[in-house]
Amino acid sequence: MASYAHPQHLPSPALAADRRTTSPLRHLGPNWYAAVMGTAIVASAGTALPAPVPHAAAVAVWALSALLLAALLVARAGHWLHHRDQARAHLLDPAVAPFYGCLSMALLAVGGGTLTVGAEVLGERTAVAVDLALFTAGTALGLLAAAAIPYLMVARHKVAPGTASPVWLLPVVAPMVSAAQGPLLLPYLPAGQWQEAMLLGSYAMFGLSLLATLLMLPLIFGRLVVHGPLPLALTPTLFLVLGPLGQSTTAVNSLADVAPDAIGGSYAGAFEAFAVVYGVPVLGFALLWLALALALVVRAARSGLGFSMTWWGFTFPVGTCVTGAAGLARHTGLAAYEWLATGLYVFLVAAWVVAAIGTLRGLASGRLLTAPTPAPAPAPATA
């Protein structure tokens, strides 16, 4: 299975030439940033729990995510420098291009973890500066991806009927991550216009991402109903639907926490009420989708589902549901949400361990950095 878990249909001579290329960077796609996202959320979600994980463990995982991000930024820069033809091919491939949203989310996830987890290590002033830089870069790239990737899908990609995928959500959900991370920086901004701009700007990104998600979800579910389950390797991407659901719930609850300091009291009360009125039904739907996705993953496992980088889809989206449930626990006082957040976190950690082990094994064998294997030609029809 290729690093981006999608069989490309290359002509035989091109595929042969691709396989003779020995550089491990050539097939390092943007989907690898999902490993950074999945690692960072383990640290930050652990601190959001009613009973937070040990701080030393959270710091260790956050530091690992920061090292992974640095390594991938260098490797991906090398990819663009030395393999521009492949990089352009990724942008023109409708199965790979949406993963460019992962770069934004990786920057934002590590930046948020730097402030919530790494401040005691780096010092608050340094942590704020790092988070501000990563938030600014991540938000700019996220907004670019949210506009550019749908444009490519419309104007340049050749999308066949029945190929709608949860992967399509990745670029449009990136601004939602910014909306959830903005409240972390708001208290460090000057009072007045700056704080209000961050609050309302975060809500604007919340709305942008939510409405774009609502356009995509009917296409994804319709594809499942009409054409049946996804191919085995892509089945874990069903968990990506949890991302905008959990992240939007996290965003409205985090924004409600800081609204009283940034805007008038009447608006702040409305935002707090909205956090509950919106978050409760959306998280309920997230649990319904989780049940559906789990059932389809079990079905795929019985049919021989093997490890690929799509397994990182089990991590970050679930982590957003952890932080969403923890936010609802704060604003409703219900112990049920505390237990839900804890149970989902246990699932998140188990999924992260499995994905990390599979990735290390794939790297050791070289399998994850080889050229994609073309799909077999369909069998000729028989009379």
* Predicted confidence (pLDDT) per residue in 149-190, tens digit: 999 999 999 888 888 999 999 999 999 999 999 999 999 999
Residue 9 backbone class (left: φ over 0; alpha: ψ -120 to 50; beta: rest): beta
What is the 3-state secondary structure of 263-304?
Answer: CCHHHHHHHHHHHHHHHHHHHHHHHHHHHHHHHHHHHHHHCC
Q: Is residue 380 scored above 50 in pLDDT?
A: no
- Ranges of each domain in the chain: 12-369
pLDDT of residue 212: 96
CA separation for the pair 115, 124 (Å, rounded): 7
Tell me the whole-structure pTM to 2 decimals: 0.90
- Mean pLDDT calculated for residue range 14-22: 47
Q: What is the CATH number of domain 12-369?
A: 1.50.10.150
Residue 300's CB: how many other CB atoms inside 10 A?
20
